[in-house]
Amino acid sequence: MTVTPDQIHNSELPVRERMEALIRLKQQEITKGIAALDTVDFHVDEWTRPGHGGGGRTMVIQNGSTFEKGGVNISVVHGTLPPAAVQRMRANHKNIEGKGADGSVNFFACGLSMVIHPINPHAPTMHANYRYFETTDPETGDVQAWWFGGGADLTPSYIYEEDCVNFHKLHKDALDKYDLELYPKYKKWCDEYFHIKHRNETRGIGGIFFDDFDSKPADEILKMVETLFDVILPAYVPAILKRKDLPYTEEEKQWQQIRRGRYVEFNLVLDRGTQFGLQTPGSRVESILMSLPATASWAYDHHPAEGTEEDKLLKILANPVEWV
């Protein structure tokens, strides 16, 4: 499916079509930028939901010289939301009404989700996700409720302040174009969302996170999401270029594995997106679990020595920093 920027910016088209065009275009741009840093290319996997509506395209890079595993997935799905899901969503979206015979509503959802895990422990993992969701009346097809959600965050095993500052500054600059109150709000939301309660630490050094965003015109939010997509590569690529060829020890690699264990814990135990995906009929498990690293480790009662670089990371994860 060929898409052009004109489709994204055509205000006469439904928002759902424009967002779908945006994620398809950005998947190509992002994977091209990431693949340029490695010696292997992305594997492309087109998929559909058997017996359900829609599908997607999963692009995975692995076993290269820079990235151990990474994925950039888009999904465009539609179908019926069962009454239980309708009731949960009504807490934030009063316009949703289950008008189907069984109290269900029709839905459409599309989004891009990506996670990149480098080989070098000095290079950070990065995650980003932007999505659009709407419900429609099963009888008339009229849109009942719509919203955007998403975010981007950085997860280093070793702290390089310039990488953290660049990541946050570019996201702040992007949001400031639309509303000066958004970055502080979304930065705090990100720190809270990615808090691993049972470890009392955050998954990484944060970024931005938002959900259920429908309080501004859809056209304006779509433009904001496009701007956020545009900063993904400049927020991440410089860190990879600076860190991917640094020498590292076996102990540093083992620390990265322990940190990846925390990543797995969050994604499988706490992440709402993973839980929603695994509970959705016809969902594609391979694409949902694409975010997991190829390898991870759990060391019993592991505590780095006071004053080490590993200890420095843990102190930051216990008390999120204002980077900009």
Which residues are identified as catalytic? Answer: 127
Return all residues near 297 (Cβ < 8 A) that are at least 6 apart.
254, 257, 258, 260, 261
DSSP conformational letter for 124: P
Return all residues near 214 (Cβ < 8 A) that are at least 6 apart.
93, 145, 146, 147, 148, 221
Query: Would you state the structure tokens that stand for residue 267, as one six-digit string?
Result: 């994604």
Reported in sequence order, the residue ranges of 174-242 that DSSP labels E, i.e. its strands, are 195-196, 201-202, 206-213
Neighbours of 258 (CB within 10 A): 16
d(CA 111, CA 20): 7
d(CA 125, CA 300): 23
d(CA 197, CA 200): 5
Neighbours of 128 (CB within 10 A): 26
DSSP conformational letter for 238: H
d(CA 160, CA 46): 37
Query: Would you state the structure tokens that stand for residue 149, as one six-digit string?
Result: 């959600």
d(CA 71, CA 56): 13
The CA distances from residue 310 to 47, 251, 265, 267, 320, in Å, are 40, 11, 19, 22, 16
Residue type, 289: L
